[in-house]
Chain A
Amino acid sequence: MTRLVRSITEMEGRFEEKWVLVSDDEPEAWASDRPLAIVGHETPRTTGPTRVSGAARYTTDVSLPGMLHVAALRSPLAHGRVTGLNREAALAVPGVRAVLDSTDTLSFRSRSGPLYAEPEHAGALLAVVAADTLVAARAGVKALALTIDPLPFVIDVDEAFRDQRIDGEIAEESRGDVDAALAGADVRVELTVETPTQLQTALEPHGAVGWWTEGELTCWVSTQGIFDARSELAKRFSVAPERVRVVADFIGGGFGAKQGAGVEALLAVELSRRTGRPVRFINDRHGEQLDAGSRPATRQTVRLGATGQGDLVAIDSEVLTSFGMTGWRAVNTPAMTLYRCANARGVEANLKLHLRQGNAFRAPMVLEGVTAVEQAMDELAITLGIDPLDLRRRNFVDVDQPSGLPYTSNQLLACYDRVAELSGWVGRDALLEPSEDGLLRGMGCATQIWWGGGGPPSHATIRIGGDGIATVVTGIQDIGTGTLTAAQMVAAEELGLPLDRVRVTGGDTRPNVYGPVAGGSQTSPSVLPAVRGAAAEVKRTLLQLAGDVFEAAPADLDLVNGRFRSSDGALDEPYTEVTGKLGNATVDGSGMRGANPDGMRANTFGCQVAQVAVDPGTGEVRVEHVWAVHDIGRVINPLGARSQVEGGILQGMAFALSEEVAFDPTTGVPTNAWLDDYKIPSIADVPAMTIAFVDVPDTALNNVGAKGLGEPPIIPTPAAIANAFRHATGRRALALPLTRARVVETLA
């Protein structure tokens, strides 16, 4: 029975009630103690060989006959007014087919831009040129011979705050009486920290190939959300969604920045519509680093008040975020939710600056908030003389404090215990003994909180035919996380088939099987239950058919590892004895994600410990080891999950050590929007990593018991490293990243 119900859905902490389609036939959640044959066992990702061999076709690899290439003209100023563009000269370049700038009336609707006459950030698009070759397109851009007058700009936080350049209202949330609680606290700490602007730096830049034919639109997009991209293209170009096909077979990373269609797809389609040719628009690296988004910089002041025993009585957090002209606010989420505290207040303002607008970046805002709150907690532990992990245990809370709702599951205390055991936490002060190599060593910890419960709508279908291969169709776009493999495992588990009898597809809107955007750590907890539902339906049918073939009662049969077996063991036949009789017929099943439980909040938790070695003479900080323990409900694929945590730790480590956009103060232009000066970690920087999961299924949340893992592992790493630096050196760097310059200056 399928029904439409009102249900609360959540994406990165934004809650919304909407109508969702749910099924009454959903399988019961796998019990915690039920042994599973495939789920929970290490499984190499199915697309590994394809990716490694270079056979995988990413958007940037799409090449179509007659395809045009786009080059972009971007603003060389943080704020300016275009005074001259020589379109005729550009159109005169051999091979150039079309030029668009802000004076063109585009066939899609846009509130502002995407081509600007008065750009408000460096790298803003001013014009695009489409040509037979990329070389010709770039020559066309050069021929435009841009002239632009500078206008006043503001990128400085202090200047913007002084001038009260604030986007909208200052957000304030609070409970209790923070001022009174702070005044009455036995112990108070106050810490102001800054976090850097970090770029997503996906290996594959943003890009699309758009092809408009007879009112049908096909678009290859490097996107985290093929269905969002389809909706966006359909709406903007006034085409029915069923006439739009979005394809993303392989995506070379997104980290949050690749939502929807993106400006590249919109302009590629526009140019295709005008020229009648397929059009490819892929950012070059400079364009990508200038204008594909960022994690905006923050300045945060956290005040904590506590009793002498370490019970928090007040949390007070003030945040200034350098978002660009507009953005959203969630940096105070950790301050309001991470620890039990009756009196908490979060004040948050976005400054209006001439910067590229920030966008989602793996645990957006929450990573930043945790980085400040967890450093303040470290200071509180030092002030109180309490073990930092004990301080966190003491202030553990098992309800979502702003709403008062219980969590569907919360294994944070188990994470603390396990990470302490793995890292040898209690003996960490031994690191402070002088070492032969002269390096200062220390260990720090930090807690993680994030949502990641997923929810409806999410659908899957499974079809099995005469060849015995079960094909799972999903709306997953696997941005490198391995969710397709997880779906294959869940389908094989439920069907009772070997893994290699199951194929999973995703990355294409044409089958019209909806999956959510790969964001908010929601793919696994949203899609996998739908896959399991579809598999359960197919299996029910297969058992009925087996009953027909083997003249047995279906209820007496099971399908296990590709064999039909009767409960008395008398029957043991390969499943192909049944599927082989299907001929051209197929057995189909469909599944959908059920509603989230009422009156509960689904969150992921974890704790990481980092060990660093600091060379005070050269300012070098090396992360030697990170121990990570996370509660993500049931672990579907331990191999894939560990890989995901490794990536999160590295990206978090980079935020703490080296990644930082540098802005030229005199022009407002980023000086390091390239890969030579913007330092993501190299293989040689990779620390030792010990990764574990509590692995207790969240049976209240969904039928597979899984929560998400995309965001969680990056969240605590920077604070753990900053706290380890504090432990090692006795000093706290008030801004990240811990570059050599900052370390030398901090230790001076």
Chain B
Amino acid sequence: MSVLRSGYVRPTSLGEALQLLAQPGARPMGGGTDLAGLIDRGIGQVATIVDLQALALGGIRGEEGRVVIGATTTLSDLLDAQDMLAPYTALLEATAQAASPLLRNVGTVAGNLCQHTRCWYYRGPEWTCWLGGGDTCYAQVGDHRKHGLQAGDCISAHPSDLAPALIACAATVQLGSAWGDRDIDLADLYRRPTATERSLVDLEPGEIILSVTLPAPPDSSVYLRAGERQGFSFPLVGLAAARHGERVSMCAVGVANTPHVLDPVDPLAGLDGHPQSAWKRTVLATLVERSLATVAP
């Protein structure tokens, strides 16, 4: 309903889009698969939906040993670019397991990276949780069987399959806003929320992802995940591992409220778990073991 009562604009130039996004209440939209659900459940104020799909931000191109993926590239586009992305096995594996074929046809890379947590208290209209601006992390006093393993103000679990694969492959993101562009590590896009910044992504107001850049591919990589069913589910635990020479990078989702880079020496460090989520430690340990075996030379 709110969708129809909000403004909707589909700018055709990036400059115009960034100006529109600089207005209060403007929300960027890629495929809209997450935004529609958020609006339907009344999460966040939406004055204007700025549809990014007419900006030619999509597409995948290889340049000088790197691969640049435009923000509005769909997940299906990634799977269609098997040749270019084949060296980034983890990314292809993560994409193929994300969501469902219909959602992959619509959902975009930037949207997948910026999707909000699936925490049922955050999403449920019956609660206003701490992350949503309230006083209580209901998960910690309530049902947190699917939640994270870290302590903190918000124990929600990060849901993106793509993020850990891209982070393990050392991807960077190019951000743009009416005030200028910047280039950061994808891992730094995410941050733990604070009392004054109840957001899990470190974007300035009006700032959007323009592209994701993959550096030279790892020697080998893998993405393993434990979902709730064989298809069309979010990862309960997802783990990407990429080996560059002797060094293995591992990044997990479903265990913390942001993609969580694991310490190869002590992968479960800092992930003690909560009473109903501690089972995820077993799963994570298994995925670590299996992914290390897969990427080993």
Q: Does B283 contact A (CB under 8 A)?
A: yes
Determine whether the beta carbon of B279 is less than 8 Å from that of A744: yes
Option from A76, A666, A745 in Cβ contact (under 8 Å) with B141? A666
Q: Given the complex of chains A and B, what is the CA–CA distance between A76 and B283 in angstroms? A: 34
Q: Given the complex of chains A and B, what is the CA–CA distance between A639 and B126 in angstroms? A: 45
Tell me the residues in window 669-705 of chain A with beta carbons closer than 8 Å to chain B beta carbons: 669, 671-672, 674, 676-677, 679, 681-685
Instruction: Give every chain B residue within 8 A of A663 (Cβ-Cβ).
Output: 143
Instruction: Give every chain B residue within 8 A of A424 (Cβ-Cβ).
Output: none
Determine whether the beta carbon of B121 is less than 8 Å from that of A683: no
Q: Given the complex of chains A and B, what is the CA–CA distance between A672 and B121 in angstroms? A: 9
Option from B1, B100, B231 in Cβ contact (under 8 Å) with A139? B1
Q: Given the complex of chains A and B, what is the CA–CA distance between A139 and B143 in angstroms? A: 31
Q: Does B120 contact A (CB under 8 A)?
A: yes
Given A76-B125, A667-B126, A740-B236, is A679 in contact with B142 using a C-beta cutoff of 8 Å? no
Tell me the residues in window 1-19 of chain B with beta carbons closer than 8 Å to chain A beta carbons: 1, 4-5
User: Can you name the residue of chain B whose Cβ is closest to the Cβ of A681?
Assistant: B229
Q: Does A554 contact B (CB under 8 A)?
A: no
Determine whether the beta carbon of A135 is less than 8 Å from that of B142: no
Option from B1, B125, B127, B230 in Cβ contact (under 8 Å) with A134? B1
Determine whether the beta carbon of B228 is less than 8 Å from that of A619: no
Q: Does B232 contact A (CB under 8 A)?
A: yes
Q: Given the complex of chains A and B, what is the CA–CA distance between A477 and B231 in angstroms? A: 33
Instruction: Give every chain B residue within 8 A of A134 (Cβ-Cβ).
Output: 1
Q: Given the complex of chains A and B, what is the CA–CA distance between A740 and B279 in angstroms? A: 8
SS of A interface (majority): loop
Instruction: Give every chain B residue within 8 A of A619 (Cβ-Cβ).
Output: 226, 279, 282-283
Determine whether the beta carbon of A665 is less than 8 Å from that of B226: no
Instruction: Give every chain A residue within 8 A of B124 (Cβ-Cβ).
Output: 669, 671
Q: Given the complex of chains A and B, what is the CA–CA distance between A674 and B142 in angstroms? A: 18
Q: Does B190 contact A (CB under 8 A)?
A: no
Within the complex, the shortest CB–CB distance from A659 to chain B, in Å, comes to 10
Determine whether the beta carbon of A618 is less than 8 Å from that of B286: yes
Determine whether the beta carbon of B143 is less than 8 Å from that of A135: no
Q: Does A741 contact B (CB under 8 A)?
A: yes
Within the complex, the shortest CB–CB distance from B121 to chain A, in Å, comes to 7
Determine whether the beta carbon of B226 is less than 8 Å from that of A666: no
Determine whether the beta carbon of B229 is less than 8 Å from that of A679: yes
Instruction: Give every chain B residue within 8 A of A353 (Cβ-Cβ).
Output: none
Within the complex, the shortest CB–CB distance from A113 to chain B, in Å, comes to 20
Q: Does A385 contact B (CB under 8 A)?
A: no
Option from B37, B228, B276, B282 in Cβ contact (under 8 Å) with A658? B228
Instruction: Give every chain A residue within 8 A of B123 (Cβ-Cβ).
Output: 674, 676
Given A135-B1, A138-B1, is A676 in contact with B283 using a C-beta cutoff of 8 Å? no
Instruction: Give every chain A residue within 8 A of B138 (Cβ-Cβ).
Output: 664, 666-667
Determine whether the beta carbon of B282 is less than 8 Å from that of A617: yes
Tell me the residues in window 724-748 of chain A with beta carbons closer than 8 Å to chain B beta carbons: 739-741, 744-745, 748
Option from B121, B237, B285 in Cβ contact (under 8 Å) with A671? B121
Query: How many A-B residue contacts, CB cutoff 8 Å?
Result: 102
Determine whether the beta carbon of B232 is less than 8 Å from that of A135: no
Scoring B residues 199 to 237 as 1 if CB is less than 8 Å from chain A, else 0, what string do you get? 000000000000000000000000000101111111011
Q: Does A582 contact B (CB under 8 A)?
A: no
User: Can you name the residue of chain A whose Cβ is closest to the Cβ of B100?
Assistant: A682
Determine whether the beta carbon of B4 is less than 8 Å from that of A135: yes
Option from B4, B118, B126, B276 in Cβ contact (under 8 Å) with A677? B118
Within the complex, the shortest CB–CB distance from B171 to chain A, in Å, comes to 26
Instruction: Give every chain A residue within 8 A of B233 (Cβ-Cβ).
Output: 679, 682
Determine whether the beta carbon of B126 is less than 8 Å from that of A76: yes
Given A658-B229, A681-B229, is A618 in contact with B1 using a C-beta cutoff of 8 Å? no
Q: Given the complex of chains A and B, what is the CA–CA distance between A658 and B126 in angstroms? A: 23
Determine whether the beta carbon of A664 is less than 8 Å from that of B1: no
Instruction: Give every chain A residue within 8 A of B283 (Cβ-Cβ).
Output: 617-619, 740, 744
Q: Does A620 contact B (CB under 8 A)?
A: yes
Given A671-B120, A672-B120, A745-B279, is A666 in contact with B228 using a C-beta cutoff of 8 Å? no
Q: Given the complex of chains A and B, what is the CA–CA distance between A664 and B124 in angstroms? A: 11
Within the complex, the shortest CB–CB distance from B174 to chain A, in Å, comes to 30
Within the complex, the shortest CB–CB distance from A671 to chain B, in Å, comes to 4
Determine whether the beta carbon of B229 is less than 8 Å from that of A664: no
Q: Given the complex of chains A and B, what is the CA–CA distance between A740 and B289 in angstroms? A: 18
User: Can you name the residue of chain B whose Cβ is closest to the Cβ of A285?
Assistant: B40
Q: Does A122 contact B (CB under 8 A)?
A: yes
Determine whether the beta carbon of A135 is less than 8 Å from that of B126: no
Option from A76, A135, A618, A677 in Cβ contact (under 8 Å) with B287? A618
Instruction: Give every chain B residue within 8 A of A286 (Cβ-Cβ).
Output: 125
Q: Given the complex of chains A and B, what is the CA–CA distance between A154 and B124 in angstroms? A: 21
Instruction: Give every chain B residue within 8 A of A622 (Cβ-Cβ).
Output: 230
Q: Does B145 contact A (CB under 8 A)?
A: yes
Q: Given the complex of chains A and B, what is the CA–CA distance between A77 and B232 in angstroms? A: 30
Within the complex, the shortest CB–CB distance from A158 to chain B, in Å, comes to 16
Instruction: Give every chain A residue within 8 A of B226 (Cβ-Cβ).
Output: 618-620, 740
Instruction: Give every chain B residue within 8 A of A671 (Cβ-Cβ).
Output: 120-121, 124, 142-143
Instruction: Give every chain B residue within 8 A of A77 (Cβ-Cβ).
Output: 126
Instruction: Give every chain B residue within 8 A of A617 (Cβ-Cβ).
Output: 282-283, 285-286, 289-290
Instruction: Give every chain A residue within 8 A of B127 (Cβ-Cβ).
Output: 664, 667, 669
Q: Given the complex of chains A and B, what is the CA–CA distance between A567 and B74 in angstroms? A: 70
Instruction: Give every chain A residue within 8 A of B280 (Cβ-Cβ).
Output: 741
Option from B145, B229, B286 in Cβ contact (under 8 Å) with A685? B229
Q: Does A662 contact B (CB under 8 A)?
A: yes
Q: Given the complex of chains A and B, what is the CA–CA distance between A203 and B43 in angstroms? A: 26
Instruction: Give every chain A residue within 8 A of B125 (Cβ-Cβ).
Output: 76, 286
Tell me the residues in window 158-209 of chain A with beta carbons closer than 8 Å to chain B beta carbons: none
User: Can you name the residue of chain A whose Cβ is closest to the Cβ of B145?
Assistant: A741
Scoring A residues 649 to 662 as 1 if CB is less than 8 Å from chain B, else 0, what string do you get? 00000000110001
Q: Given the complex of chains A and B, what is the CA–CA distance between A679 and B236 in angstroms? A: 13
Determine whether the beta carbon of B229 is less than 8 Å from that of A684: yes
Q: Given the complex of chains A and B, what is the CA–CA distance between A678 and B174 in angstroms? A: 36
Determine whether the beta carbon of B118 is less than 8 Å from that of A676: yes
Scoring A residues 362 to 384 as 1 if CB is less than 8 Å from chain B, else 0, what string do you get? 00000000000000000000000
Given A671-B121, A679-B233, is A666 in contact with B282 using a C-beta cutoff of 8 Å? no
Determine whether the beta carbon of B230 is less than 8 Å from that of A682: yes
Instruction: Give every chain A residue within 8 A of B236 (Cβ-Cβ).
Output: 740
Scoring A residues 691 to 723 as 1 if CB is less than 8 Å from chain B, else 0, what string do you get? 000000000000000000000000000000000
Q: Given the complex of chains A and B, what is the CA–CA distance between A681 and B227 in angstroms? A: 12
Option from B5, B146, B231 in Cβ contact (under 8 Å) with A683? B231
Given A618-B226, A667-B126, A676-B118, is A682 in contact with B232 using a C-beta cutoff of 8 Å? yes
Q: Given the complex of chains A and B, what is the CA–CA distance between A745 and B228 in angstroms? A: 16
Within the complex, the shortest CB–CB distance from A320 to chain B, in Å, comes to 21
Most B CB within 10 A of own CB, among A122, A134, A671, A739? A671
Instruction: Give every chain A residue within 8 A of B286 (Cβ-Cβ).
Output: 617-618
Instruction: Give every chain B residue within 8 A of A745 (Cβ-Cβ).
Output: 279
Q: Given the complex of chains A and B, what is the CA–CA distance between A677 and B146 in angstroms? A: 10
Scoring B residues 243 to 268 as 1 if CB is less than 8 Å from chain A, else 0, what string do you get? 00000000000000000000000000
Option from A138, A665, A672, A682 in Cβ contact (under 8 Å) with B229? A682
User: Can you name the residue of chain B whose Cβ is closest to the Cβ of A615?
Assistant: B286
Within the complex, the shortest CB–CB distance from A463 to chain B, in Å, comes to 45
Instruction: Give every chain B residue within 8 A of A741 (Cβ-Cβ).
Output: 145-146, 276, 279-280
Closest 4 CB pairs of A and B: A617-B286, A684-B230, A684-B231, A671-B120
What are 17 A-B interface contacts by the 8 Å CB criterion? A139-B5, A622-B230, A658-B229, A663-B143, A664-B142, A665-B142, A665-B143, A669-B126, A669-B127, A676-B123, A682-B231, A683-B231, A684-B232, A685-B229, A685-B230, A685-B231, A741-B280
List residues of A whose CB falls within 8 A of some B CB: 76-77, 122, 134-135, 138-139, 286, 617-620, 622, 657-658, 662-667, 669, 671-672, 674, 676-677, 679, 681-685, 739-741, 744-745, 748
Q: List 14 additional A-B contacts (Cβ < 8 Å) besides A617-B283, A665-B143, A744-B283.
A: A138-B1, A617-B282, A617-B290, A618-B226, A618-B283, A619-B282, A622-B230, A664-B121, A664-B138, A664-B143, A665-B142, A676-B123, A676-B234, A739-B228
